[in-house]
Amino acid sequence: MDSLQNAGGVAGGNVGDGMMASQMKDVAAATTADDTKQNLSQVINSIQKTLDLIHQLYLTVSSFNAASQLPLLQRLNNLVMELDNMSKLSENCNIQVPMEVLNLIDDGKNPDEFTKDVLNSCIAKNQVTKGKTDSFKGLRKHLLEELEQVFPDEVESYREIRASSAAEAKRLAQAQSTLPNGDLKIKPEL
C-alpha cells in the first residue's frame, strides 16, 4: 500500500497526499467534536446526579433521627463517589468559563445577564461597524461618480477589471468548497 501511495504521490505531484491529509483532519475534527459532546454530556449527567444526591442528603439531614444514621452515611459515601466521578469526567472536558460569569454567580445573580450583556455589546459594535461600512460605500460611490465625469474611459476600465476580479474570486471560492468528485464540503457542526 505504501508503494502505491508513493507512486501516486510521484505521479500526482503529492496532490493526493494533501487531499488525504485534509480529509483526515476533517474526520479528526468531527471525531473530536463528537467526543467533546459525549464528555460534556457525561459531566452534565454527573452534575444532575450530584444535585439529586445533595437533595436526598438534605432530606435525610432535615429529618434526622437515630434510625436514619446508616442511610445518611450511605448517601454521604454516594455523594463523595459521584464527586470523584465528576472530577474524573471533567478532566476530559475543556470548557472555559469567563471570570465575569463566575463573579455574577458568586454575587447571586443570573449568569444569563452576562450573555445578554455580551450580545448587546456585540450588537452595538456591529451597528457601529455597519455604519462605517455604509459610509465608505457612500464615499466610494460618490468618488466614482465624480471620477466618471472627469475620466469616463478610466472609470469604465476600472469597473471591467473589478468585475472580472470579482468573478475570479467567486470562482475560486466555489472551487475551494467542492470536493474532487463535485460534492460540496460541509462544515461539521460543533
Using one digit for the tens of pLDDT, what is the confidence trace for 112-171? 888 898 899 999 999 999 999 999 999 999 999 999 999 999 999 999 999 999 999 988
Residue 10 lies in a domain: no
pTM as predicted: 0.44
> In percent, how much of the chain has pLDDT > 90?
41
Q: Which of 64, 95, 126 is the last residue of a domain?
A: 95
Q: Does any domain span residue 163?
A: yes
162: its cell numbers: 473589478
Distance in angstroms (rounded) separating the CA atoms of residues 86 and 54 = 14
- Give the chain's domain count: 2
Residue 11 lies in a domain: no
- Regarding whether 120 and 169 lie in a shared domain, the answer is yes
Give pLDDT, residue 101. Answer: 86
**How many residues are recorded in the chain?**
190
- Tell whether 82 and 116 lie within a shared domain: no
Domain assignment present for 143 = yes
Q: Is residue 49 part of a domain?
A: yes
Determine the 3-state secondary structure of 65 from DSSP: coil
Do 77 and 37 reside in the same domain of the chain?
yes
Residue 118 and residue 86 share a domain: no
Cell output for 15 = 496532490
In 68-111, where does DSSP find H-type helix? Answer: 69-90, 99-106
Question: Are 39 and 65 contained in the same domain?
Answer: yes
Residue that finishes a domain, picked among 42, 64, 95 = 95
177 versus 165: the higher-pLDDT residue is: 165
Does the residue 23 lie in any domain?
A: no
Same domain, 116 and 170: yes
Identify the pLDDT of residue 173.
82
Percent of the residues in the chain that have a pLDDT greater than 70, as a whole number: 76
Domain encompassing residue 78? 33-95
If asked whether residues 125 and 160 sit together in one domain, one would say: yes
CA gap 49, 57 in Å, rounded: 12
